[in-house]
Amino acid sequence: MTKTAAIIGGGVIGGGWAARFALNGWTVQVFDPDPEAERKIGEVMANARRSLPGLTDVALPDEGEVRFCASIAEAVTGADWIQESVPERLEIKHKTFAEVQAHCAADAVIGSSTSGFKPSQLQQGAARPGQIMVAHPFNPVYLLPLVELVPGDAGDPALIEQAKTLLSGIGMYALHLKKEIDAHVADRFLEAVWREALWLVKDGIATTEEIDNAIRYGFGIRWAQMGLFETYRVAGGEAGMKHFMAQFGPCLSWPWTKLMDVPEFTDELVDLIAGQSDAQSGDLSIRELERVRDNNLVTMMRGLKAQDWGAGALLNQQEVLMRQGTEMGARAADLPADQPVPTARRTVPLDWTDYNGHMTESRYLHAFADATDRFMELIGCDAAYISSGGSYFTAETHIRHLDEVHAGAVITITTRVVLGEGKKMHLFHEMREGDRLLATGEHFLLHVDLETRKPSPPSPQIEANLVRFAQGHAQLPAPDGLGRAIGAPR
């Protein structure tokens, strides 16, 4: 049965909540007096539809209906979850909760997106205090899974468990804080970093860009996959957390930061943290933790590389330099036309392997597609040409998987032109590790006008370059497997 969420306040956070619920199949009922609320939430929904479904390899349920209501009473009627995201003024929140509780079901969860108020403050004067709890998310709510769930001492145990279950059902992680505190947990870290950053800028130590780069090129990526304490556990080496704390604990008394109100560094504190760290990850050796960390870092940085952003942009810049002076950086005129063209030389990354321990079949196509892109670039179909309105589209592909290859292997791909005339380009790729033939890829492409999306002749220069290789490669013996169909040769 479809569940219903009520969103009270449709700003950036409220809109994110609406998208998270709706894209997970919930009916969403929104109240926001802003006349632009429907437009704003519609734009957030469009971004969420573009990104959230790609996180999972199982399709999300059919999108739920989003309704815009004329009153809080209308919005909360029949709601299983009510999310308050009104401005951070306690009197506004109290007024909102009073109206919500006057019309909602007693067994509905009422969550507040507040980043600063404690639940005991929110619950003051409420008809049913245990129904109201902090449910503090992070922007964008439709992508980031963390919700700080703080029910306070008055929290209803049944509703707390209900809240955890409902959040889990929409792909979120409820961090259940047993004690309330101003700004909860995550924002206290952010505030500490923010204050220190302000001092660094004020004192002329670093610019805003330099500070952002310190985070996104370094510890920010580590924290993203392992958090704070487990990162430091690994940094302690085989001796673990106690060694790390013994080595770096004295730094707490050094003037490394403007935030000098630190806890006394006692044996009891060391034992407490080391014990919790053992419970958290002690079943894995340091070497195992390092491998987990490295797998995660490679996957995240390669994701950033695909977006040409942050640490990924640095990798792309490095690749440009690495290609210079090698055959991978050569121009078409520098390459002999009567030899297969080198189009790829790369290492198989960690995230290209499957449950059998070798390169997964989709990555063979990935590698061959990259080789095709390199050949297109060689003959002049580069980014500038594509931006002018012409490109090649693949019409047919045939891959033969001849041998397995594992992470860390260096593979090379050479390319022959079987046919190159007019709109048509027929390529044959061979993938090797050393002398060992791993796979072949046969690809037929058509030149296309990107405005009409129909086949069209390429530029004269591209066609001339293509014909040059086609004529030269025609003098070579036909490669084994050319024209082969599934099963037996023709």
Instruction: Lowest mean pLDDT of 28-32, 52-56, 192-196, name the range.
Output: 52-56
| CATH number for the domain whose boundaries are 329-473 | 3.10.129.10
Provide the pLDDT for residue 315: 80
- Split at pLDDT 50, 70, 90, the class of 470 is very high
- Split at pLDDT 50, 70, 90, the class of 105 is very high
Is the pTM above the cut of 0.95? no
Provide the pLDDT for residue 71: 97
Query: Whole-angstrom Cα distance, residue 83 to residue 183?
Result: 18
Provide the pLDDT for residue 325: 74
Tokens of residue 224, six digits: 């993203």
Mean pLDDT to the nearest integer, 96-109: 98
Among candidate residues 60, 18, 20, 72, the one with its CA nearest the CA of residue 40? 18
Q: How many CB atoms lie within 10 A of CB 288?
A: 11
Mean pLDDT to the nearest integer, 363-392: 95
- Split at pLDDT 50, 70, 90, the class of 202 is confident
% the chain with pLDDT above 70: 96
Tokens of residue 403, six digits: 């041998």
Provide the pLDDT for residue 263: 64
Residue 347 has φ and ψ, to the nearest 5°, of: -100, 140
| DSSP per residue, 142-207 | TT--EEEEE--TT--HHHHHHHHHHHHHTT-EEEE-SS--TTTTHHHHHHHHHHHHHHHHHTTS--
R_g of the chain, CA atoms, integer Å = 29
Residue 195 has φ and ψ, to the nearest 5°, of: -65, -45
Give the bridge partners for 359, in sequence order. Answer: 353
SS3 content of the chain, % helix, strand, coil (to 5): 45, 20, 35
* Binding annotation for NAD(+): 9-14
Task: Name residues whose C-beta falls within 8 Å of residue 318's C-beta, 6 or more positions apart in sequence.
Answer: none
Tokens of residue 154, six digits: 């008055």
Distances from the Cα of 230 to the Cα of 89, 146, 224, 390, angstroms? 37, 18, 11, 50
Provide the pLDDT for residue 397: 96
pLDDT at position 489 over 60: no
| CATH number for the domain whose boundaries are 187-292 | 1.10.1040
Provide the pLDDT for residue 57: 66
* Binding annotation: 9-14
Write down the residue that tokens 């919790």 correspond to: 276
Which CATH topology does 4-176 take? Rossmann fold (3.40.50)
Mean pLDDT to the nearest integer, 84-99: 96
What letter does residue 438 receive in the DSSP assignment?
A: E
Every domain of the chain and the residues it spans:
4-176, 187-292, 329-473
What letter does residue 61 receive in the DSSP assignment?
A: P
Mean pLDDT of the chain: 90
